[in-house]
Chains A and B, each alone.
Chain A
Amino acid sequence: MKRILIADDESHIRRILEFNLKRAGYEVLATEDGQAALALALSARPDLVILDVSMPELTGLDVCRRLKAEATLAATPVFLLTARGQESDAEAGHAAGADQFFTKPFSPKQLVEHVRQALGEP
């Protein structure tokens, strides 16, 4: 079973993502801040990471950059979620090495589709 790490400070969004991904057959790890997400990623070795950009202390961009800097995690797909949807954010996301970029509000169904594709599942 593939393992997915979610980091978002909004509990409702965490909850609905967790629900949809579990329903799609994934194991889900959820946390509400960047620091914990980084620690979990290093310890739990998820197959895919979904990060909210705007989190207190360590932002999604920071976490993404650190993950991509880790040799063991560089290949792990990272999805970024942002509430701003501006070009500058998208550029920053790509610069940080993110694989996908979703602007809130997004469709959970579509997100799950992208997760499937990123993990090479049919």
Chain B
Amino acid sequence: MSAFLRRLWPVSIRRQLVVGVALVHVLLMTVFVSALIHRQRTFLLDRAERRVRVQAELLATASRPHVLAQDGAGLAEILAALVKDTEGVRYAMVTDPGGRVLAHSQPGKTGGVLEDATSRAVLDGDPHPRLVTHGEHGLQAAAPVVARGRHVGWAWIAGDFAADRAHLDGVSTTGLAYTAAAVVLGTAFAVGVARTILRPLSLLRAGTEQVSQGRWEQPIPVTSTNEVGSVTHAFNTMAQTLHQRNADAARAEAALSALARDLETQVTERTRKLTRERAQFEAILSGIGEGICVADTAGRVLMWNRAAEQITCVPASLMVGSIIPGPLRLVDGDVVVKDFARTLMQRAIESGEAVSTSGTKLTRPDGSVLAIGITAAPIRDHAGTVQACVSVFRDVTRERDIDRMKSEFVSAVSHELRTPLTSIRAYAETLQDIVGHEATVQEFLKVIEEEAVRLTRLINDLLNLARIESGRVRFKEESIALAPLVARAIQTAEPKAAMNSVRLAADVVPDLPPFRGDADGIQQVLTNLVDNGVKYNRPGGRVEVRAWLNGGVRVEVRDTGIGMSPDAMRRLGERFFRVDSSETRRAGGTGLGISLVKEILQAHGTALEVESVEGQGSAFRFVLPVGGAA
């Protein structure tokens, strides 16, 4: 039922408003007019009844003498006048107590008897005035005619309501007219209001559609200052905010997609670069002359490059994936490498540092034996954890052969040179004793002898250098006092110093702790440095050896000699390099002294520091580690 009504109820606000207003007006006006008419009727009816009763009593009074006199004519006259002069009386009559009509305003009815039930009820009742019938159609009152205390008749009046009804009809008509007017005006107002509200609403709707289609630019015109206006305003604000947000979102989206594109480009670029680098890296690895083996921490081979294949004659297909030594036969020193735990790579992984060896022998599948030099270094990840190990190795068989040949050659040459030198020196020396005192002969023989001695020193230095370089000289690690070595170096240089008028001095701090090293090696260092200081000096010059404790035993050999230019200092220690001047040629060095000093100090884990000013002198310094008993 309600659903049915709801279907009847119009959907649009305009119609709702119009129909609603019309219905309300109709309803209210109808109720109002009806109530008005009802009250009017009640009032009129009441007034008519009172009037009828009053007239009935007046008639009873007026008719009393005529009833006593039995004067029908007089009664008729009274009745006629009454009906004629009094408004609202339909008819009037006078009866006797038994209901016989004594006179009637309508003459034809005189003489009749009232038989109807209503009249009988009045006639049979008590003699006092009363309304016989109510209502606008049957308004009738009766009043007893009493004369001298005796009830002699009834006066009857029938009211006429026609005039009142006409009045009521007029009221109804007017009410209807007002109702109609109210409905029309109300509806018009409703239509107007609906338009006022709905026009901006439809604008709002159009605007909404516009916004929903993405046209944000135009705000909806605000045509009124009422609620709709503020709604429109609010909508505009909302649309603008949305537009702003939308624009922001669009911008953000654009930026994001640009970023994504950029990222993609970068990734592509990076991938291409990586691929290229990887290709290059692989080309380098496969093209490199050294064998390269990468293994994880368990010793499983991950990479085996082409050079590794060529050196070992074992293909990568066999090596990769196997645990070192895999199919290789390696002998490290005298130990056959059987498990990874023995290998250099394992040592590198455990120590975390690069480890080298040159004493490894490799037996190829065909039985030939190679000497290989291996350097293994750990590979760390970003966190510094060792992930793998890379070994670089090469065939050093030929190098070792050459090395051996070289030292054999040097040894043989020095031997072969010493024999004729021995003769030259011996004969020159002997001749000086036997040829007399001819000055020129003595001088020349002296030159021959000195040059022979120099050549001897050169050979000795060469031999020493070759031996140190080849690692065949094993420096000892003993606890040694420095002072005696300094004294001996000075003692050795004394004759030459005296000859060149150079003063020698030693300043070794007393109670200097012993240093750790090789006595013969450091002796040679000191001797060479002091000898150099004397050689590259001037008459009246000075060579001083100082030693004190400062982060080790610090030794300084300082001279007041000819000094060196910066260029000469740079080249110091090159084989056969000597500070080139007439003075140095006169000094007769071999050019190997400083090289030897450097090699020996390096073997002691220290370095030679040189400070020199050309024309003023040089200072050579080094630090020896302090150490207790070995």
Are B418 and A105 neighbours in the complex by a CB distance under 8 Å? yes
Are B418 and A104 neighbours in the complex by a CB distance under 8 Å? yes
Interface residues of A in 1-56 (CB under 8 A from B): 10, 12-13, 16-17, 19-20, 23, 54
Interface residues of B in 9-57 (CB under 8 A from A): none
Are B430 and A105 neighbours in the complex by a CB distance under 8 Å? no
In the complex, which of the residues A104, A105, A109 has the most CB atoms of chain B within 10 Å of its own CB atom?
A105
Chain B nearest CB, measured from A100 CB (Å)? 16
Are A10 and B415 neighbours in the complex by a CB distance under 8 Å? no
| Cross-interface CB contact of B421 among A16, A23, A86, A105, cutoff 8 Å | A105
Are B452 and A84 neighbours in the complex by a CB distance under 8 Å? no
Are B411 and A10 neighbours in the complex by a CB distance under 8 Å? no
Are B429 and A108 neighbours in the complex by a CB distance under 8 Å? yes
Also in contact, A105 and B427, with CB within 8 A (given A84-B411, A84-B414, A85-B460): no
Size band of the interface chain A makes with B? 20 to 34
Q: A residues engaging B (CB < 8 A)?
A: 10, 12-13, 16-17, 19-20, 23, 54, 83-86, 103-109
| Cross-interface CB contact of B415 among A12, A19, A83, cutoff 8 Å | A83
Are B419 and A10 neighbours in the complex by a CB distance under 8 Å? yes
| Cross-interface CB contact of B452 among A83, A85, A105, cutoff 8 Å | A105
Are A16 and B414 neighbours in the complex by a CB distance under 8 Å? no
B119 near A: Cβ within 8 Å? no
Are B456 and A54 neighbours in the complex by a CB distance under 8 Å? no
Number of interface residues of B (CB under 8 A): 21
Q: Is the interface of B mostly helix, strand, loop or mixed?
A: helix
In the complex, which of the residues B423, B426, B433, B452 has the most CB atoms of chain A within 10 Å of its own CB atom?
B426
Which residues of B are found within 8 Å of A10, using beta-carbon distances?
419, 422-423
Which residues of A are found within 8 Å of B467, using beta-carbon distances?
86
Are B423 and A108 neighbours in the complex by a CB distance under 8 Å? no
Are B415 and A13 neighbours in the complex by a CB distance under 8 Å? no
Are A107 and B415 neighbours in the complex by a CB distance under 8 Å? no
Also in contact, A105 and B424, with CB within 8 A (given A16-B430, A20-B430): yes
Chain A nearest CB, measured from B429 CB (Å)? 6
Chain B nearest CB, measured from A19 CB (Å)? 6
Also in contact, A83 and B418, with CB within 8 A (given A105-B452, A105-B456): yes
CA distance A83 to B430 in the complex (A): 20
B64 near A: Cβ within 8 Å? no
Which residues of B are found within 8 Å of A20, using beta-carbon distances?
426, 430
Are B414 and A108 neighbours in the complex by a CB distance under 8 Å? no
Chain A nearest CB, measured from B466 CB (Å)? 11
Are A105 and B422 neighbours in the complex by a CB distance under 8 Å? yes
Are A107 and B429 neighbours in the complex by a CB distance under 8 Å? yes
| Cross-interface CB contact of B426 among A13, A23, A84, A86, cutoff 8 Å | A13
B578 near A: Cβ within 8 Å? no
